[in-house]
């Protein structure tokens, strides 16, 4: 296995799940086998975003309770060869403990190149489980102070839990809105405030958002998908220049 990456944010709705799916799709298109783990117990949504809701029978909690094997909870995504999903429990009280998730990832992870864990928002018990197996983290923020403070909080929690490789994803970037709101001078200011190394800026792009929300593959030529492919390249150690101005 090459890496286990958790996608986190302090504030809800910054685009963690969209980035998880887009990144998983991009890594898969580049020849990797990728497992996406939905850790948002009680609020799961990756099954919809990956178009597998109809076939979904078991989730992580069923494997933990012994109702099925761990392998039974791994679903291949139609249209995206090499991309697989382990769905979150439907009920929040079935949330999986951190050490148990760690064992699950250790068990199935070896047959994948990348495991991407989609964390719930905040720094509660779901977040603690999501980060437990991870080797590195992407913190997803939008260009607003509340979102950025959430990113700082999450990054500090990640560091306290021993994850030092933390990169920043600025999602839903809209140059016009950014300038009109004038909350920040430029992107450098956001990078300075978070004290995180930027791995990519994903533009606001409703064509990708609509495709993912309807369980379809995004157009690989759309701006957000291009940005996510660049992030996938950087994750794999390729040198792709960042365009921050
Ligand atoms: N780059 C983007 N351009 C336009 N819309 C986006 C983009 N990224 C995400 N969205 C939209 O923002 C909303 C929140 O996205 P998403 O569900 O991925 O966030 P989240 O961080 O996973 O939320 P939660 O904290 O509830 O789990 C959705 O309506 C999604 O379609
Ligand atoms: Mg989500």
Secondary structure tally for the chain: helices H, strands E: 10, 8
Indicate whether 233 pLDDT > 70. Answer: yes
Nearest CA to ligand 1 atom 15: 15
> How confident is the model at residue 218, as a pLDDT?
74
The percentage of residues in the chain with a pLDDT greater than 90, rounded to a whole number, is 93
Tokens 């991870």 correspond to 134
Determine the Cα–Cα distance for residues 29 and 42; give it in Å rounded to an integer: 30
Q: What is the pTM of this model?
A: 0.97
Residue 245 binned pLDDT confidence (cut-offs 50, 70, 90) = low
> How confident is the model at residue 230, as a pLDDT?
97
**Residue 87 C-alpha to ligand 2 middle, in angstroms?**
12
Determine the Cα–Cα distance for residues 4 and 133; give it in Å rounded to an integer: 7
- Can you list the domains of the chain with their CATH numbers? 3-235 (3.40.50.300)
- Ligand minimally distant from the alpha carbon of residue 14: 1
Distance from chain centroid for Cα 122: 14
In the numeric block, which tokens belong to residue 117?
Answer: 């864990």
DSSP state at residue 193: H
User: Are the C-beta atoms of residues 100 and 130 closer than 8 Å to each other?
Assistant: no
Positive or negative torsion for Cα 74, 137, 22, 240: negative
User: Are the C-beta atoms of residues 51 and 77 closer than 8 Å to each other?
Assistant: yes
Determine the Cα–Cα distance for residues 116 and 77; give it in Å rounded to an integer: 14
Determine the Cα–Cα distance for residues 109 and 120; give it in Å rounded to an integer: 21
The string of pLDDT tens digits covering residues 140-196 is: 999 999 999 999 999 999 999 999 999 999 999 999 999 999 999 999 999 999 999
Q: What is the mean pLDDT of the chain?
A: 95
Pocket of ligand 1 (CB under 6 A): 9, 12-18, 40, 121, 171-172, 202, 204-206, 209, 213, 224
Mutate which of 41, 209, 225, 229 for ligand 1? The one with the most ligand atoms within 8 Å of its CB, which is: 209
Lowest mean pLDDT among 18-32, 185-199, 230-244: 230-244
Residues with CB under 5 A from ligand 2 (ion): 16-17
**Residue 245 C-alpha to ligand 1 middle, in angstroms?**
23
């Amino acid at each position: 296995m090459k890496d286990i990456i958790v996608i986190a944010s302090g504030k809800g709705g910054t685009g963690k799940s969209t980035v998880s799916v887009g990144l998983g799709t991009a890594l898969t298109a580049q020849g990797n086998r990728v497992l996406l783990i939905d850790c948002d117990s009680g609020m799961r949504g990756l099954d919809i975003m990956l178009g597998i809701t109809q076939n979904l029978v078991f989730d992580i909690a069923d494997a933990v309770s012994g109702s099925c094997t761990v392998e039974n909870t791994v679903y291949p995504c139609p249209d995206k060869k090499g991309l697989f999903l382990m769905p979150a429990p439907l009920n929040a009280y079935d949330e999986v403990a951190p050490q148990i998730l760690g064992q699950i990832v250790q068990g199935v992870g070896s047959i994948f190149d990348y495991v991407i864990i989609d964390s719930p928002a905040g720094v509660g018990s779901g977040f603690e489980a999501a980060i437990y197996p991870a080797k590195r983290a992407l913190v997803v923020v939008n260009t607003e102070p509340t979102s950025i403070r959430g990113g700082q909080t999450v990054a500090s929690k990640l560091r306290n839990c021993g994850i030092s490789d933390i990169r920043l994803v600025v999602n839903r970037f809209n140059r016009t809105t950014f300038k009109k709101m004038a909350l920040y001078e430029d992107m450098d200011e956001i990078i300075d405030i978070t004290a995180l190394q930027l791995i990519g800026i994903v533009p606001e792009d409703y064509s990708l958002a609509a495709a993912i929300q309807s369980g379809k593959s995004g157009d690989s030529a759309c701006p957000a998908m291009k940005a996510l492919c660049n992030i996938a390249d950087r994750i794999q150690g390729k040198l792709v220049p960042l365009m921050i101005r």
